[in-house]
Structure 1
């Protein structure tokens, strides 16, 4: 049964509460992706960061994490090791980082560990380390060789695909589950991309819309501050995959689609483009600075700086800073522009990902620059889901038909 397979089990997993934190244990990267918000989108503050996080900072991070979980009555803290490239850290030192965290959290708080890596540095030794410590592993890959190597290049301008595949194969040899993070390239064939990722034997994929805003719009769409536009290249790309994915008997997990279906069936979640829940995610830089989501770096130099640091400041105190408070509550209706407040699909998208709303002239008082894409995506997905439901009262349910996309846009922008 489609609904049981796609929704019920994943929904139970999704509602397990934890505090999430992106830990920048390395501030540099061994590759140089063209679209990277850390290094190539206008914020050079990484140059002021130490290359690696010290164990003293790790200890204070763990202490503050435990305090915050206790305050929030949450029993798990998710440490997402990131960069830069976290595997630039030596294995022995990485083990000390994990041991320090465990020492200061157990037994009251359970630490969950994940690594987001470009996979070019993975060896058998790293695979042993990952498996021994039960670390979830996410790998960045945009598609096949031609698609991936268009943007994911090294510092000499060479593509990284072959090295990534080598790393994936090492992990698979050690029976380690692999998740993929893939930035959408609308010039690629979405079905070919999806089939290629399935061919690699991955467990899940998270398709990401590129980080752009009104000051730096994607070349694929026209825009102005009247917001409304007819072209929807990102929705069109994703929906070609959705049509295949939704009808598959044993699909791979695609978070964007799964979360959409959960929200349509009454759940609420915290995700960049979906839901209206609070965003309980912190970013910790290598020097211990506490910041909001790092994609906000596309908004300008030092934009994410808060003058709060885990070596001196609690997470609770950091949430009171304007930029972190804005991010945490960015899905609240009172944080939205007029267009989003009256939009029929607001309860689904929550106004979209906050960095995508930014314009230097009026801050975040705008719909997402991808608003038209989101409207088309969610109306289509919801309509597809409702067509599959065997509910007697279905005809009485309020939902947006994909045929009404244009009228939805008129409702929002007129």
Structure 2
């Protein structure tokens, strides 16, 4: 796992004396032997090392967080030199995401002007209202920091600086009123919030842990309920992470989930360290023995301590591996697992709180009514399309105000309002590789060029007049469901769409004209590469998409775009496989579990057949697949695709519980049991045992939709028995 984020300590001292600080108040006291300020020489070496690593690792973006101590103690002039050096070294080789985390006490216009010059996003620590904040966050003379931070946030929220405002970070103290804390923070209109558990280990348990069995879970769930009442006005990272992982998505925070660590810390003397939170465990726990003068980032990425935090489920304790909420909790923050007896091979010291919190969120978000999507394939497809529309609407909330996107959005809403063009818009929105791009944009920088390409594709399919222009950094523009336009160079690109097709203009002033495709069937320009399709008897055409930049959503890699002869051979192999399937199972298109593939993507040789993250209709197939294997696997994958799609639009069980796991097991085993194969009897018996276990669970573990699906599987199992 490459290093994608660097915490750079630019000042090792602080102007507050917070009594819960992991740098100064916990086991590791290495800060005492480090220079207060990073030197120019060390800064240049960090920038050189990081630029070289980004280039070698072929990373398109890298994040650098300016940290401390208190980073603003360096002063505006030195802060500007630091930002300038990092930008000079890194901006030519990757997109640089510069951020700073501060206590806010010294954040004034001089600092903000520097941060605005380099587009540095600002995160501020604040623990709530004055009473809550001043329990811990006082200066060295015992004075409150609250008013000074509020003045800084007032400046940060001014129109000229508002775009820099990243969010607020709050350390939980269960002695504080959770609703009062949350209301005080949301009143400051942060774009995001995060609540952190105070650093603790089994050697030094957290404050208040003896008062109730799960005081931190109770506190966080009270805040969660308040956040729901407010209509979720901003992202709360710990909540969003649990909501994501409960539904099979990625973790959004280091403190929860099984995502691999991709962070390096560099101290003011150039020393490489692991995550700062390890300073809580014991003196030297974060140390690596590496520094930027003798070692590079690639060496750091291979350090045993770094690798230990990238082991996923294998890296947590045996207790955690057996826990039903481990995919959401991830064993807790690595540092919080420490004990003198077993090192980090323990559950988190917050184990009971984390489980109670995850299960509490799961219960709160479980919707129990019967979803029509479980009874009808048409309803399932409509629900999937509605999900894509919702994701696109979220992108509009992020992008609105951009002239390029506002033009595209007006076009999309116009297409949606006309019954004659809605179907063509829906075809683009339902393309299975649009969703991965929307989901990725939801978590990181929005891929505006890809969304603009989708708007162009919708206009071309609908044969309406439209002009869309944007800055494009690649040498090709992909139009989902249609094909790819090759460009002579990156830069400003303008698409002019008419009823007959489209043309493309390039250049700063759009002076140089490149011909696109006359999609209506006229001559195809050499720079236009349309996607191929496969027409099968008795069904709609299948799109063969070997070019979409978001088709890389399978467990194995897709092929590069196929050459003409390879594409013909792949199509012929697919025709053979589908003909064999029809011969063996004439009614394979019938039934609720039948595959409804619309798009097939060639995968590298030897990969077999796979579902991706692209939704109900996407299928990845190895270029050298065996037609016999295709026939055996396709119906099983159709069943799995239906279950995956149902989970995306409806609750089947309380997320993360055993009932949901059993539904997966039964459905998968029935996929092996239905065809007449050597594995059928064994799979049928496994499914029966899982159905018995499912029946023994409390009825409340399944929603009405999940219970319907369980009954359907039980009837299918019984029919096979009879």
TM, length-normalised to structure 2: 0.50
**Is the contact between residue 247 and residue 655 of structure 2 (CA under 8 Å) also seen in structure 1?**
no
Mapped partners of 1:401, 1:260: distance in 2: 14
Secondary structure in 1 aligned to 2:100? strand
Mapped partners of 1:321, 1:57: distance in 2: 21
Secondary structure in 2 aligned to 1:52? coil
TM-fit CA distance, 1:216: 0.6
Partner of 1:290: 272
Given the alignment, which residue of 72, 82, 85 partners 1:87?
72
Return closer, same or farther for 1:178/1:342 CA change in 2, 3 Å cut-off: closer
Mapped partners of 1:299, 1:281: distance in 2: 18
* 2:276 matches 1:20: no
Aligned runs of 1:337-348 on 2, under 5 Å?
Answer: 337-348=317-328
Mapped partners of 2:257, 2:156: distance in 1: 33
Q: Which is bigger in relative contact order (C-alpha 8 A, separation at least 6)?
A: 1
**Is the contact between residue 292 and residue 327 of structure 1 (CA under 8 Å) also seen in structure 2?**
no
RMSD of aligned alpha carbons? 2.2
Mapped partners of 1:395, 1:125: distance in 2: 51
Secondary structure in 2 aligned to 1:70? helix
Decide which moves more: 172-181 or 86-95: 172-181
Q: Deviations over 1:334-358 (max 9, x none)?
A: 2221101111111111111000000
Given the alignment, which residue of 182, 201, 206 partners 1:213?
201
Given the alignment, which residue of 144, 147, 150 partners 2:132?
147
Count of residues in Structure 1 that have an aligned counterpart in Structure 2: 379
TM-fit CA distance, 1:212: 0.3
Mapped partners of 2:202, 2:338: distance in 1: 6
Aligned runs of 1:366-381 on 2, under 5 Å?
Answer: 366-381=346-361
**Is the contact between residue 181 and residue 206 of structure 1 (CA under 8 Å) also seen in structure 2?**
yes
TM-fit CA distance, 1:165: 1.0
Mapped partners of 1:136, 1:207: distance in 2: 19
Mapped partners of 1:367, 1:80: distance in 2: 29
TM-fit CA distance, 1:178: 4.8
Gaps of 5+ in 1: 1-16, 223-228, 408-414
* 2:337 matches 1:349: no
Given the alignment, which residue of 636, 640, 655 partners 1:399?
655
Mapped partners of 1:129, 1:175: distance in 2: 11
Given the alignment, which residue of 237, 248, 252 partners 1:255?
237
Return closer, same or farther for 1:57/1:86 CA change in 2, 3 Å cut-off: same
Return closer, same or farther for 1:234/1:175 CA change in 2, 3 Å cut-off: same
Return closer, same or farther for 1:397/1:73 CA change in 2, 3 Å cut-off: farther
Given the alignment, which residue of 284, 293, 303 partners 1:302?
284
Partner of 1:315: 297
Aligned runs of 1:153-192 on 2, under 5 Å?
Answer: 153-173=138-158, 174-176=160-162, 177-192=165-180
Moved over 4 A (4+): 388-391, 393-398
Q: Deviations over 1:95-134 (max 9, x none)?
A: 1111111222232212111110011111111121222221
Given the alignment, which residue of 206, 212, 237 partners 2:219?
237
* 2:253 matches 1:271: yes
* 2:35 matches 1:50: yes
Decide which moves more: 207-216 or 120-129: 120-129
**Is the contact between residue 26 and residue 279 of structure 2 (CA under 8 Å) also seen in structure 1?**
yes
Mapped partners of 1:400, 1:344: distance in 2: 6
TM-fit CA distance, 1:388: 7.5
Q: Deviations over 1:200-222 (max 9, x none)?
A: 22222111000000111113114
TM-fit CA distance, 1:55: 2.1
Q: Deviations over 1:41-84 (max 9, x none)?
A: 12211011111112222222122222333344321111101100
Return closer, same or farther for 1:324/1:108 CA change in 2, 3 Å cut-off: same
**Is the contact between residue 180 and residue 202 of structure 1 (CA under 8 Å) also seen in structure 2?**
yes
**Is the contact between residue 76 and residue 109 of structure 1 (CA under 8 Å) also seen in structure 2?**
yes
Q: Which has more radius of gyration?
A: 2
TM-fit CA distance, 1:249: 3.3
Aligned runs of 1:105-144 on 2, under 5 Å?
Answer: 105-144=90-129
Mapped partners of 1:247, 1:360: distance in 2: 43
Mapped partners of 1:131, 1:204: distance in 2: 19
Gaps of 5+ in 2: 375-645, 659-696, 698-722
**Is the contact between residue 32 and residue 153 of structure 1 (CA under 8 Å) also seen in structure 2?**
yes
Return closer, same or farther for 1:388/1:166 CA change in 2, 3 Å cut-off: farther
Mapped partners of 1:159, 1:327: distance in 2: 37
Mapped partners of 1:90, 1:384: distance in 2: 46
**Is the contact between residue 182 and residue 208 of structure 1 (CA under 8 Å) also seen in structure 2?**
yes
Mapped partners of 2:656, 2:289: distance in 1: 44
Return closer, same or farther for 1:247/1:171 CA change in 2, 3 Å cut-off: same
Partner of 2:61: 76
TM, length-normalised to structure 1: 0.86
